[in-house]
Amino acid sequence: MKVLVTGGAGFIGSHVADALLADGHVVHVLDNLANGYREQVPAGVPLHVLDVCDPGVRDLFAVHRFEALVHLAAQIDVRRSVADPAFDARVNVLGLLNLLEAGRIAGLQRVVFSSSGGALYGEPVHVPQGESHPERPQSPYGVSKLVSERYLAYYADVHGLLTVSLRYANVYGPRQTPEGDAGVIAVFIEKMRAGLPVTIFGDGRQTRDYVYVGDVVQANRLALRHPESDAFNIGTGIETSVLALYRALATILGVEPGYTPAAARKGEVARSVLDTRRATDLMGWRPETGLDRGLARTIDWFKSRAAEPPLR
């Protein structure tokens, strides 16, 4: 299959591009390199340096006639979405529409979309949150993911596009850097390795469901060949508080530099944990990497990264 991976020079996208190439697909990458790195694009894979909102996207689809789109490029910073909701919508909603229209005209057949579980559902009515949980996003970022899923449903119903939305928990692992829109694990590891205290917002009891990037890659591989349009939670079903995460990292690293408390951040939910049984039942997907093992692998990557020249 000929596949375009947007955000394929970034954290999750580069891992997905690696896997799809290994599976025998013809892979292209689209990335504006705002948060991605050329060096992370697999060797031999064409890199198209474009923004998802660029009109040139239509020419790209017209020339290459991609059969599938794996859409990972996004504005993912909840805080920025609160501060600048118009920018968030431009990238996450209008960018998606630009890709879908380009694909519709050029014969695109299927889309795998990176959505968000915690941001989409908001504060839980019950846990773990299944796919039928009420959708009550508490940030513009969450709203943009909800709107995007609605547009995908429209393109599936009206234009026959096969669409699978993967509603991620908090993804972590190698290649997630502490710069830009990084997740808490990357930020904590970098600071703790340097002997610096980390910042914990709120009381530290807020919980997240941390899923390893290798398991997320497997979900994308399975979604690409799923026979129907659908949406699936991709997480572990295990809640971990920020304080517990800090202690786990301190144990693995053998350091405990302490933390600085700060006010809770607007737009962020206090509790998030996903029910992934539908993904297991219908796609055969399940998380394979426990948090301790995943954190150890991520720390090893940070150590190896420190010995190499900077990316870019």
Which one of 121, 141, 212, 246 is the catalytic residue? 141
Interatomic CA distance for residues 85 and 73, integer angstroms: 17
Locate tokens 């029910």: which residue?
275
Site of tokens 């290994």: 22
The span from the CA of 105 to the CA of 212, in Å, is 36
Sign of CA dihedral 181, 184, 188, 190: negative
Residue 141 falls in the annotated catalytic set: yes
Per DSSP, which regions of 169-282 are E strands? 170-172, 198-201, 207-208, 210-212, 230-234, 240-241, 259-262
DSSP 24-76: T-EEEEE--SSS--GGGSPTT--EE---TT-THHHHHHHHH--SEEEE-----
Give the distance, in angstroms, between the CA of residue 251 and the centroid of all CA atoms in the same chain. Answer: 27
Task: Find where tokens 């923004």 sit.
Answer: 51
Beta strand spans in 169-281 (E): 170-172, 198-201, 207-208, 210-212, 230-234, 240-241, 259-262
Catalytic residues: 141
